[in-house]
Amino acid sequence: MKKLVCMMMLLAFLLAAGLAQAQTLINGAGASFPYPVYSKWAHKYHELTKVKVNYQSIGSGGGIAQIKAKTVDFGGSDDPLKAEDLKKDGLVQFPTLIGGVVTIINVPGIGSGEMVLSPEVLTDIFLGKIKNWNDAAIAKLNPNLKLPNQAITIVHRADGSGTTWIFTNYLTKVSNEWKEKVGNAKSVSWPTGVGAKGNEGVANNVKQVRGAIGYVEYAYATINKIPYTKLINKAGKVVTPNMDSFKAAAAAADWKNAPGFYMVLTDLPGDNTWPIAGATFILVQSSQLDKERAREMLKFFDWCFKHGGAMAEELHYVTMPDRVVDLIQETWSKHVQYADRTGMKQIWP
Amino acid sequence: MPQARDIASAIPGKAPAKIGADALFKWFTIIAALVVPIIMAGIFWELLSLSWLALKTFGWKFFISEAWNPVTQNFGAASSIFGTVVSTLIAMLLAVPMSIVIALFLVELAPPRISKVVGSLIELLAAIPSIIYGMWGLFVFAPFMATYVQPFLGQYLGFLPLFQGPPMGIGMLTAGIILAFMVLPFITAICRDVFALVPAVLKESGYGVGATTWEVTYKITIPYGVVGVLGGIFLGLGRALGETMAVTFVIGNSHRISASLFAPGNTIASALANEFAEATDPLFISSLIALGLVLFIFTFFVQVVSQLMLRRMYRGWSIKV
Q: Is the pLDDT reported for residue B7 higher than 60?
A: no
Q: How many domains does chain A contain in total?
A: 2
- Look at residue A262 and tell me if it is in a domain: no
Question: Mean pLDDT over residues A279-293, rounded?
Answer: 88
Q: In the predicted model, what is the mean pLDDT of chain B?
A: 88
Average pLDDT over residues B10-32: 75
pLDDT higher than threshold 60 for residue B276: yes
Pair A49, A173 in one domain: no
Look at residue A272 and tell me if it is in a domain.
Answer: no
pLDDT at A214 over 80: yes
Query: Are residues A7 and A55 both part of a single domain?
Result: yes
- Domain identity same for A76 and A113: no
Question: Alpha-carbon distance B80 to B64, whole Å?
Answer: 10
- Same-domain status, A227 and A139: yes
Whether the predicted pLDDT of B17 surpasses 90: no
**Closest to A59 (Cβ–Cβ): which among B72, B166, B278?**
B278
Residue A77: CATH number of its domain: 3.40.190.10
Q: Which stretch of DSSP H or E encloses residue A215?
A: strand A212-217
Tell me the mean pLDDT in the region A135-152.
93
Q: Is residue A260 part of a domain?
A: no
Query: Is A205 an interface residue toward B (CB < 8 Å)?
Result: yes
| Average of per-residue pLDDT across B231-235 | 89
Q: Scan residues 91-150 of B and list those with Cβ closer than 8 Å to A.
A: 138-139, 142-143, 146
Please state the domain extents for chain B.
4-59, 80-320
Task: Check pLDDT > 80 for residue A128.
Answer: yes
**Residue A316 DSSP label:** T
Residues A25 and A55 in one domain: yes
Q: What are B202-216's pLDDT values in tens digits?
A: 889 999 999 998 899
| A314 neighbors A304 (Cβ within 8 angstroms) | no
Total residues belonging to chain B = 321
- The CA-CA-CA angle for residues A250, A254, A258, to 5°, reads 110
Nearest to B254 among A62, A193, A212 (CB): A193
Domain assignment present for residue A45? The answer is yes
CB contact under 8 A, A160 and B70: yes
CB contact under 8 A, B70 and A186: yes
CB-count exposure of residue B185 (10 Å: 0-12, 13-18, 19+):
buried
pLDDT of residue B296: 94
Residues A81 and A120 in one domain: no
Which pLDDT score is estimated for A142?
A: 93
Q: What does the pLDDT average to over B252-278?
A: 90
Burial class (CB in 10 A: 0-12, 13-18, 19+), B169: buried
ipTM (interface pTM): 0.79
Instruction: Give the count of alpha carbons within 13 A of B67, CB side only.
Output: 14
User: Please, are residues A26 and A52 in contact by the beta-carbon 8 Å criterion?
Assistant: yes
Query: Are residues A77 and A18 part of one domain?
Result: yes
In the predicted model, what is the mean pLDDT of chain A?
A: 88
Fill in the amino acid letter for A202: V
* Domain carrying residue A110: 101-253
- Within this chain, do residues A241 and A119 fall inside the same structural domain, yes or no? yes
Q: Kindly report the nearest CA distance between residue A89 and chain B, in angstroms.
A: 16
Domain co-membership, A128 together with A240: yes
Percent of chain A with pLDDT over 70: 93
Last residue of a domain, one of A253, A287, A312: A253
Contact A193 B170 (CB under 8 A): no
Look at residue A263 and tell me if it is in a domain.
no
pLDDT at B149 over 60: yes
Residues of B in contact with A158 (CB under 8 A): 248, 253, 266, 270, 274-275
If asked whether residues A246 and A113 sit together in one domain, one would say yes
Confirm whether A335 is domain-assigned.
yes
A161 touches chain B (CB under 8 A): yes
Query: What does the pLDDT read at residue B45?
Result: 96
For A11-59, the pLDDT digits (tens) are: 666 555 554 455 678 999 988 788 889 999 999 999 988 889 999 888 7
| A68 in a structural domain | yes
Residue A160 has pLDDT above 90, yes or no: no
Looking at the DSSP bridge assignments, the partners of residue B252 are B265
Q: Return d(Cα B64, Cα B82) in angstroms, integer.
A: 10
Is pLDDT of B312 > 70?
Answer: yes
In a domain, A269, yes or no: no
In this prediction, residues A194-211 reach a mean pLDDT of 90
Query: Any idea which of A191-200, B45-54, B288-297 has the lowest mean pLDDT?
Result: A191-200
Q: Is A36's Cβ below 8 Å from some Cβ in B?
A: no
The answer to whether residue A101 scores a pLDDT higher than 90 is: yes
> Would you say residue B158 has pLDDT above 90?
no
User: What burial class does residue A307 get, using C-beta atoms within 10 Å of its C-beta: 0-12 exposed, 13-18 middle, 19+ buried?
Assistant: middle
- The pair phi, psi for residue A32, each rounded to 5°, is -85, -25
- Listed in sequence order, the DSSP H helices in chain A are 2-22, 35-49, 60-68, 83-89, 119-127, 136-141, 162-174, 176-181, 198-208, 218-223, 243-252, 291-307, 309-314, 322-335
Q: In this structure, are A293 and A333 located in the same domain? A: yes
Residue B244: name the closest of B270, B266, B268 by CA.
Answer: B270
- Cβ <8 Å between B264 and A190: no
Q: Which of A198, A219, A253 is the last residue of a domain?
A: A253
Question: Quick check: B252 contacting A, CB < 8 Å?
Answer: yes
Q: Which residues contact B52 (CB under 8 A, 6 or more apart)?
A: B286
What was the pLDDT predicted at B16?
A: 53
In this structure, which amino acid lies at residue B269?
Answer: A
- Judged against a pLDDT cut of 60, whether residue B319 lies above it is answered with no
Do B98 and B309 meet the contact criterion of CB atoms below 8 Å apart? no
Q: Please state the rounded mean pLDDT for residues A74-79.
A: 88
Q: Work out the pLDDT band at B218, boundaries 50, 70, 90.
A: confident
Contact A211, A133 (CB under 8 A): yes
Contact of B306 with B279, CB cutoff 8 Å: no
Q: What is the pLDDT of residue B309?
A: 85
Model confidence at B321: pLDDT above 50: no
Fold of B80-320: MetI-like fold (1.10.3720)
pLDDT in tens, B45-91: 999 999 999 999 999 999 999 999 988 899 999 999 999 999 999 99
B166 touches chain A (CB under 8 A): yes
Same domain as A319, residue A192: no
